[in-house]
Amino acid sequence: MITATFNNYIGGAELVKMEQGVSIMKAAILNGVGNIVGECGGQAMCATCHVIVRPEHREQLPPLSEDEDEMLDCAATARAEGSRLGCQLKAGEHFSTIEVDLPETQ
């Protein structure tokens, strides 16, 4: 079973089961996890699915593309170590379990 844990900025956590190939962004929207918008529909164009991946889960992920890297500079909450766009991280392809923190604003 593939899972993602979303920690919101006020301390709550939500564990979501994910289907193969589904992005963190889509899983968050489908499950009603607050604080993820995904305005562009998953094209790495809007930086409104900003998540901060917990340190122990970062190694397994693919490196940042130039698009993702630059768009993170546009995020409403300043990027941090481990910042990624949720639309670029796919269940099964990039992780089998992951834990992320959600920024206060998208």
Partner 1 sequence: MNISEHLQSAVIIGTGHSGVQAAETLRESGWTGRIVLLGEEQHAPYQRPPLSKDYLDLDKAAGPLPLRAPSFFEEHRIELRLGVRVESIDRAARSVRLSGREQVPFSKLVIATGASNRALDIPGSALSGIVGLKSLDDAGNLRELLGPAWNIVVVGAGFIGLEFASAARAMGKNVTVLEFADRPMSRALSPAMGDFFARHHVDAGINLRLSEGIASFLGDEDGNVATAVSTSGSQYAADLVVVGVGVVPNTGLARAAGLPVDNGIVVDHDLRTEDPDIYAVGDCASFPSPTGTGRIRLESVQNSTDQAKHAAGQIAGGADARYEPVPWFWSIQGGVRLQIAGLSSPGNETVLRGDPGSGKFSVFCFDGEVLTAVESVNRPGDHVAARKLLGRVLAVTPEQCGDTAFDLKSQSNALALTG
- Hey, which residues between 33 and 92 contact partner 1 (CB under 8 A)? 38-43, 45-46, 66-67, 69-71, 73-74
Q: Does 104 bind partner 1 (CB under 8 A)?
A: no
> Which has the closest alpha carbon to 76: 103, 106, 35, 46?
106
Helices (H), the chain: 24-30, 66-72
Q: Does 31 bind partner 1 (CB under 8 A)?
A: yes
Count, residues near partner 1 per rule CB under 8 A: 20
> Which has the closest alpha carbon to 82: 104, 102, 67?
102
Residues that bind partner 1 (CB under 8 A): 26, 29-32, 38-43, 45-46, 66-67, 69-71, 73-74
